[in-house]
Each structure stands twice: as C-alpha cells, then as structure tokens.
Amino acid sequence: MIYTFVVTVPANTTEENPIRQELALDKGVIRKFVVQIPPGHAGLCKFGIFRGDSQIWPKNRSEKLAGDGVLLIFDDEYYPLLQPPYSLFFVGWNEDELYDHSVYLYFQLLTKEEFLSQKGIYWPEEGFI
C-alpha cells in the first residue's frame, strides 16, 4: 500500500510555533519512506516526522530534514505501526519570509502478512505469524 501526503508550510512559520499535521496510515509496517523537497526551498523549510512525542525521521532529534530540489529515499526501514493510533505527524516550520513551501511524503506500508512473507516466516498449518 502506498500513502501520499502533501504538506504546505506557510511562510514565517516559526520553530517555536511549528505546524503539526497528522499523517493517517493503517496498521502495518512502514517499508519505505520517500520525501520530495522541490526546488526553491533553499533549506528554509525544516521538519521531522513524529509518532507521538518521538521523532522517527531523522532519528537524531536535534536535527531536521531540509533541502532544495532533493529526493530523500529511506528504503532500509522497517517501522512497525501495529498498535493504534496508526498516525504519524509532520512537525515543521518555514524560515522563508515570502513563500509557502510544500513537501511531498510517500510511505510504502506492508500488511503484517506481506512483511512476514518477505522474511520467509510462514507455517502452512498456522499461516503467517
């Protein structure tokens, strides 16, 4: 399953008062996370992806994702969303004084069965465990 989100951060959004947008997913395992930061951002829009109060991407909480005309691909991830709530949150700000900036987020989510079948864990009498 692929989930896509477009988050627009208004100009002059401060780090002290960032936007927080829910990214509603379903139960499963995040297999891949892709971020598209279009040209023109000039590194002025900074953000992290959170679950509750824990920052998931980037892992080091003191840093944030930013860029200009880049595609960030995290394809070595296996982040489980097996207990509700199944939402993540985009938390970010925009230091640009004139322009809003949009960020494009893509998540590949595997069901538990898809994840376990990729790992080769299957017992015919019990199904996937």
Q: Which of 4-8, 12-16, 29-33, 93-97 has the lowest mean pLDDT?
A: 29-33
pLDDT category, 117, cuts 50, 70, 90?
A: confident
In the numeric block, which tokens belong to residue 60?
């080091």
| Neighbouring residues of 49: CB distance < 8 A, sequence distance ≥ 6 | 23, 33, 55, 56, 57, 65, 88, 89, 90, 91, 105
- pTM, two decimal places: 0.88
- pLDDT digits over 47-94, tens only? 999 999 999 999 999 999 999 999 999 987 789 898 899 999 999 999
Structure confidence at residue 119 (pLDDT): 65
CATH number of 2-128: 2.60.120
